[in-house]
Amino acid sequence: MTDVLRRGRASLAFSFFAQGVAFALLVTRIPAIQDRYGVSDALLPAFLAAVPILAGVGSVSTEHLVKRIPPSRILRWSQPVVLLALLGVGAGDSMLELGLSLAAFGLAVGALDASMNMLGVSLQRAYGRSIMLSFHAVYSLGGILGASLAWVGAHWHLALWVSYLPVVLVLLPAAVVGSRWYVDGGGGGDAEVLADKGEGGTVAFKLLLPLCLVMCFAYIGDSTVSNWSAKYLQDVLGSSEQLATVPYNVYMVTTLLGRAIGDLGVRRLGAVTVVRLGALVAAVGFAVVALAPGAWVGMLGFTLLGLGLCVLVPQTFAAAGRLFPGASDAAVARLNVFNYVGFLIGSPLVGALGDAWSYRGAMLVPMVLVLVTLVYARSFAAQPDRYGGGHERPRTADVGRGSNGL
Query: For 179-245, where are the alpha helices, taking DSSP H only?
Result: 202-231, 241-244
The reported pLDDT for the residue numbered 246 is: 84
Confidence class of residue 187 from pLDDT cuts 50, 70 and 90?
A: low
* Greater pLDDT, 242 or 87: 87
Any idea of the CA torsion for 153, 157, 158, 160, to the nearest 10 degrees? Answer: 80
State pLDDT tens for residues 52-70. 999 999 999 999 999 999 9
Confidence class of residue 191 from pLDDT cuts 50, 70 and 90?
A: very low
pTM: 0.89
Whether residue 179 contacts residue 403, with contact meaning beta carbons closer than 8 Å, is answered with yes
Spatial separation of the C-alpha atoms in residues 58 and 79, rounded to whole Å: 13
Confidence class of residue 405 from pLDDT cuts 50, 70 and 90?
A: very low
Spatial separation of the C-alpha atoms in residues 89 and 210, rounded to whole Å: 36
State pLDDT tens for residues 160-176. 999 999 999 999 999 99
pLDDT for residue 248 is more than 60: yes
Whether residue 16 contacts residue 138, with contact meaning beta carbons closer than 8 Å, is answered with yes
* Greater pLDDT, 256 or 392: 256
Whether residue 227 contacts residue 353, with contact meaning beta carbons closer than 8 Å, is answered with no
190-389 and 1-186 share a CATH fold: yes
Confidence class of residue 186 from pLDDT cuts 50, 70 and 90?
A: low
The reported pLDDT for the residue numbered 249 is: 83
Confidence class of residue 205 from pLDDT cuts 50, 70 and 90?
A: confident
CA-to-CA separations, 153 to 8, 91, 242, 328, 337, in angstroms, rounded: 33, 14, 17, 40, 32
Confidence class of residue 203 from pLDDT cuts 50, 70 and 90?
A: very low
Q: What is the pLDDT averaged over residues 236-241?
A: 89
- % of the chain surpassing 90 pLDDT: 72
State pLDDT tens for residues 119-142. 999 999 999 999 999 999 999 999
Confidence class of residue 395 from pLDDT cuts 50, 70 and 90?
A: very low
pLDDT for residue 220 is more than 70: yes
Whether residue 182 contacts residue 8, with contact meaning beta carbons closer than 8 Å, is answered with yes
Q: Which fold has domain 190-389?
A: Growth Hormone; Chain: A; (1.20.1250)
Nearest to 289 by CA among 240, 252, 237: 237
Beta bridge partners of 183: 402
Q: What is the pLDDT averaged over residues 279-284?
A: 98
Spatial separation of the C-alpha atoms in residues 214 and 369, rounded to whole Å: 9
Is the alpha carbon torsion for 373, 303, 164, 157 positive or negative? positive
The reported pLDDT for the residue numbered 285 is: 97
State pLDDT tens for residues 285-318. 999 999 999 999 999 999 999 999 999 999 999 9
Spatial separation of the C-alpha atoms in residues 140 and 313, rounded to whole Å: 12
Rg (CA), the chain: 20
The reported pLDDT for the residue numbered 192 is: 44
Spatial separation of the C-alpha atoms in residues 250 and 306, rounded to whole Å: 8
Spatial separation of the C-alpha atoms in residues 4 and 1, rounded to whole Å: 8
pLDDT for residue 202 is more than 90: no
Spatial separation of the C-alpha atoms in residues 308 and 281, rounded to whole Å: 5
Spatial separation of the C-alpha atoms in residues 134 and 124, rounded to whole Å: 10
Mean pLDDT of the chain: 88
State pLDDT tens for residues 72-100. 999 999 999 999 999 999 999 999 999 99
The reported pLDDT for the residue numbered 369 is: 96
How do the domains of the chain map onto residue ranges? Answer: 1-186, 190-389
The reported pLDDT for the residue numbered 188 is: 55
Q: Which fold has domain 1-186?
A: Growth Hormone; Chain: A; (1.20.1250)
